[in-house]
Amino acid sequence: MFCASLLLIYCLESKSKLTDRIGQAMAQRIAIIGGGYIGVELAKSLDPLAEVTLIEQNSHFVHAPAMVRAVVDPSILERALIPYDALLKRGRVVRGVAQAVSETEVTLTSGEKIAADQFVIATGSSNAVPFKPNGAGIDGLRAANAQVHAKLVEAQTVAIVGAGAVGTELAGEIAHAFPNKTVHLISSEATLFPHHPPKLGRELSSKLKASGVSLTFGARVENLQSLTEPYSGSLSLSDGTKVEADLVFPTIGSKATSTLLQTLPGAEVSGADRVKTDAWLRPSTLRNVFAAGDVAETGDAMTVVGAGRQVAWLKTTLKALIGGKRVEDLKPYAPWGPKAPFLVPLGPKIGNSFLGVFTAGNFITRKLKGEDLFLSKYNKILGRKS
């Protein structure tokens, strides 16, 4: 009888301690600013453990890789624009724009203040429409997609200025969907993807040429009329060449949306408006404010793959903080480095990928990204039912 009583007391005490730990975790308030890849996955994973608030100005998540294909195939647009309504079960999504962050709260442009214990700023980057909304909202993005698609259908000659991932994939998508159009891909770099293993650029270049795409390397466009939206016009290149195009796509590169981060004490801006972080992804002297994704200079490229690695680290780190540990006692973030995977489909069937130790071809690239563009994955994460 005495032993049974001791066992009962032990069980009750253990249950009480567990309840206290759960209560302590749920008392932790985490504010995540930006509903892109970092924000969505992090909010979802922490939702059962803490009081999560995701702050996002748009009504829908914009799945950027699919927005490239949506230019040639608008039928996939709505699968690439996913509402936030079903993302969280315990937490909340607040529609708004953050204008200030302190150690204790986020202030929105509406005047609303949201208190939290930990903050993650992942406000992403901007790109030319119709790939990202850039302040125009989801309805504006839909309208831009329809307008640009209509212009693309009518165009006979298309010029793409900038041969990064967006420009290269766009060239492949147009060549696949409209094989009779003349497509020019123009880059100031000497080769395609010069910062990756040479085989990747060589094979992609070969496939683009076989698809009818004209490649121009080592030449700058000297009279680009817009960096933010497609237009029609004549391009003058630094090598003396002129290209007449019914439609010009500027895809020169993304710029980090770092206005909020730049207001923080001690913040330092690097290239493409990204803000530098310390070893624990902190961009300022505020010890409980983290930054990740395109907006943060972490050592990773502006890619979904880079974001995925940072999300994994942030999940582990924030869970440890919820459990009462100190940031400085935790393992610092380690970026991908030169072995970062890089997937470049040229439409739904062909492409190449660098997977850390080798360059994969059509089949693997098609299965990993080209066929579905991760649409199923992100619709599932955001709770949208098929």
Rounded to two decimals, the pTM is 0.91
Q: Are residues 164 and 268 in the same domain?
A: no
Domain containing 143: what range?
137-253
Q: Are residues 243 and 327 in the same domain?
A: no
Domain boundary (289, 312, 332) is at 332
Q: Are residues 221 and 177 in the same domain?
A: yes
CA distance 247 to 156: 8
Residue 378 lies in a domain: no
Q: Are residues 155 and 243 in the same domain?
A: yes
Q: Cβ distance 346 to 176 under 8 Å?
A: yes
CA distance 63 to 123: 14
Query: What is the CATH classification number for the domain harbouring 266?
Result: 3.50.50.60
Could you read off the pLDDT tens digit of each residue along the chain, which spans 386 residues?
Answer: 444 444 444 444 444 444 444 454 457 999 999 999 999 999 999 999 999 999 999 999 999 999 999 999 999 999 999 999 999 999 999 999 999 999 999 999 999 999 999 999 999 999 899 999 877 799 999 999 999 999 999 999 999 999 999 999 999 999 999 999 999 999 999 999 999 999 999 999 999 999 999 999 999 999 999 999 999 999 999 999 999 999 999 999 789 999 999 999 999 999 999 999 999 999 999 999 999 999 999 999 999 999 999 999 999 999 999 999 999 999 999 999 999 999 999 999 999 999 999 999 999 999 999 999 999 999 999 999 86
- Complete edge-to-edge strand list for the sheet that includes strand 351-354: 342-345, 351-354, 359-360
Q: What dihedral angle (degrees, nearest 10) is formed by the CA atoms of 193, 198, 204, 208? A: 80
Q: Are residues 220 and 301 in the same domain?
A: no
